[in-house]
Amino acid sequence: MDSKAVSASDKNVNEVPIEQLIATLKKSSDLMVRRDAILALSKTKNSAALDPLIEALKDSCWEVRQIAVRGLRRLGNPKAIEALTHTLQDQEIEVRWEAAHALSTFSDPTFLSLFIALGDEDSNTRLEAVRALGNSRNKQVVIPLILRLSDSDSWVRWQTAQGLGQLGSSRAVIPLISALRDDDKKVRGAAAFALGELGRSSAVAPLIETLTDVDRTVRENAVLALGKLGKAAAIQPLLHMLRNNTEHNDTRRGAAEALSQLGEPAFFLLLQTLEDTDCKVRAYTAWSLIEHCNENAFQPLLKALHDEDGEVRSCAAAALGNIGNKEAVIPLLLLLEDGNSDVRYRASIALGQLGDPKALPDLEWLANHDMEATSSGERVNQAAISALEAIKQM
């Protein structure tokens, strides 16, 4: 058989019988034929390909071995784990990296071999070993991973911080706090996010300090983490972040959302910012209340429906729909005549959520006449039509 018969680029490669591919792989001494056969096998998910792919890990050509590893990864059969583990000792960097990557996709890889791969000279192999150990969710791997926070490669340190966040062990808290001072911004950002996942109060003060990091993404992750930790010590720093008009918009929005998750004292302070002189502060607060609101926010949100800023009115309408208090129906009906299409769109959706038949005539008019699009491209009349259907089904 020639290589053309089994070429992976052939449109009919899936029509070549798997037995024929296996026979070609065993018999041919031609490198290109073996490579094309293993490539074809690697693209199938037929379990019959398992043993030939494992056997191909011993091929004299590193490219064949690499393709075989990819095929075993696609098969996802745990029986391949032992063979892939041995491949971590392959003489070629590309093959070792591919094997570590393949093992990272299995829920129960062989830890001992992955521990060995953590010391590989190739940074990509170490990174994939770290990824595999983090995905394992097994706390036995915490200490070996902590050691990788000092890896010479920043991507390995970044993946390590992520993995430690996934593992949920308190032993990682102090090392991750130290990683907040890493030279690389992506490592600092990953460490901040991981500390939020671990949920330990000892991380609050270091995360507050990280709110002044020079990198925006790091600051955003610190804000997110402080919201998850839910400690009162973060309230004032987050309020400062929200009101800082030199800060990036996404970071300020994140600060508002974090405050909405910090309990009643923070929530009441957040509601007060609906009257801030900065329209951006009011808008970010109203936005955060869409997902994190309760009856305590009802009256402040009603007042926000009259805000001079369209984004504030729009977000307030959406939040009122989520609260579900029908006393908001009349104020929301008035917004159907608002000059801002985003406001009319959100008010229509909110009225649909509240389900009051009093809204039917106005929504019907809007459904038939308001063809304007919102800032993100949705049609106002479509929101009105959806609201009408929701109310009629109640």
**List of residues 6+ apart from 146 with CB closer than 8 A:** 160, 164, 171, 172, 175
pLDDT for the residue 145:
93
| Whether residue 103 has pLDDT greater than 90 | no
| Whether residue 47 has pLDDT greater than 50 | yes
| Whether residue 11 has pLDDT greater than 60 | no
Averaged pLDDT, 163-189: 96
Could you give the CA distance from residue 249 to residue 254 in angstroms, rounded to a whole number?
9
**List of residues 6+ apart from 340 with CB closer than 8 A:** 310, 313, 314
Residue 295 CB burial class (10 angstroms; 0-12, 13-18, ≥19): exposed
Short-list 361, 350, 358, CA closest to 387: 350
Determine the angle formed by the axes of helices 18-27 and 31-42, rounding to 10 degrees.
150
Query: Rounded to 5 degrees, what angle do the CA atoms 294, 299, 304 make?
Result: 105
pLDDT for the residue 108:
63
pTM above 0.85, yes or no: no
pLDDT for the residue 15:
59
- For the chain, list the domains and their CATH numbers: 1-99 (1.25.10.10), 293-394 (1.25.10.10)
Per residue in 377-388, pLDDT (tens digit) is 999 999 999 999
pLDDT for the residue 107:
67
| Whether residue 285 has pLDDT greater than 90 | yes
Q: What's the chain's length in residues? A: 394
Could you give the CA distance from residue 331 to residue 306 in angstroms, rounded to a whole number?
9
> How does the average pLDDT of the chain come out, rounded?
89
Short-list 303, 325, 330, CA closest to 316: 303
| Whether residue 23 has pLDDT greater than 90 | no
Least confident of 20-29, 131-140, 239-248, 259-268: 20-29
Averaged pLDDT, 270-298: 92
Which carries the bigger pLDDT value, residue 49 or residue 374? 374
| Whether residue 110 has pLDDT greater than 80 | no
Asked if 157 and 184 touch (Cβ cutoff 8 Å), the reply is yes
Could you give the CA distance from residue 52 to residue 46 in angstroms, rounded to a whole number?
11
Per residue in 332-369, pLDDT (tens digit) is 999 999 999 999 999 999 999 999 999 999 999 999 99
- In order, the DSSP letters of 349-388 are HHHHHHT-GGGHHHHHHHHHH---B-TTS-BHHHHHHHHH
**List of residues 6+ apart from 4 with CB closer than 8 A:** 10
**List of residues 6+ apart from 366 with CB closer than 8 A:** 336, 344, 348, 380, 381, 384
Least confident of 87-91, 181-185, 214-218, 309-313: 87-91
Instruction: List the beta bridge partners of residue 373.
Output: 379
Could you give the CA distance from residue 25 to residue 97 in angstroms, rounded to a whole number?
24
With cut-offs at 50, 70 and 90, classify the pLDDT of residue 279: very high
How far CA 43 is from CA of 30, 79, 105, 127, in Å, comes to 20, 18, 17, 25
**CB atoms near residue 48 (< 10 Å):** 12
